[in-house]
Amino acid sequence: MLAQRQKRNIDDANRVPSAVLIPLYKQQGHYHILFIKRTEMVTEHKGQISFPGGTCEKDDRTLLDTALRECHEEIGLRTEDVEVLGELDDEITTTSNYIVSPFVAVIPWPYRFQMNEYEVDEIIEIPVQALLDESCIKPDTEILDGKVVDSYAYHYQGRVIWGATARIVNRFLDIYTRIMPDE
């Protein structure tokens, strides 16, 4: 379903192209999503919970190349260990000037991650079912280009996922529940 859907691209030369990977894995019969918490040393998004990923560089042929390269740099996830399922709609960050292209992928589990200590403070694993629990999601709003936009915040074990990452999670979960309604 992900590979067949029509992706909504955002084309804005004033924003920086970037890409993230939404790493999914199955543990004890249930799907989980892997997130990272950024360190306070990085230039942007300090301390935020996000997906592994980053800015497109000149040597990246595609945004998928960007997502895979950044995953390897940040958490040691090798490209050959990733099975890309498809791509979600682009999102815009509200606290910085990025267009984010999210790619959904399955990764093997367990995995020996190697965190880049400058960029990644922590790897966070959250069961998809926890994110689907109504008590986890809270409506939120953000300011984008001077306009108030509806958003979400996900609360899980004292952590808060917000902004573009939360909007990407919400879009993914909408598709996930159509693919796996009884999961």
Residue 163's CATH number: 3.90.79.10
Residue 6 belongs to a domain: no
What does each of the 183 residues of the chain score in pLDDT, given as a tens digit? 666 677 787 888 888 999 999 999 999 999 999 999 999 887 676 779 999 999 999 999 999 999 999 999 999 999 999 999 999 999 998 878 899 999 999 999 999 999 999 999 999 999 999 999 999 999 988 888 788 988 889 999 999 999 999 999 999 999 999 877 665
Which sign, positive or negative, has the C-alpha torsion 131, 95, 92, 17? negative
Please tell me the predicted confidence (pLDDT) of residue 1. 64
Number of structural domains, the chain?
Answer: 1
Strand ranges in 16-175 using DSSP code E only, listed in sequence order: 16-27, 30-38, 49-50, 53-55, 83-87, 91-92, 98-106, 120-127, 137-144, 147-156, 159-161
Residue 9 belongs to a domain: no
Residue 4 belongs to a domain: no
The residue segments making up the domain with residue 52 are 16-179
Residue 129 belongs to a domain: yes
- N-terminal to C-terminal alpha carbon distance within the chain: 16
Residue 2 belongs to a domain: no
Residue 106 belongs to a domain: yes
Please tell me the predicted confidence (pLDDT) of residue 21. 98
Please tell me the predicted confidence (pLDDT) of residue 183. 59
Residue 1 belongs to a domain: no
Residue 165 belongs to a domain: yes
Please tell me the predicted confidence (pLDDT) of residue 174. 92
Please tell me the predicted confidence (pLDDT) of residue 125. 97
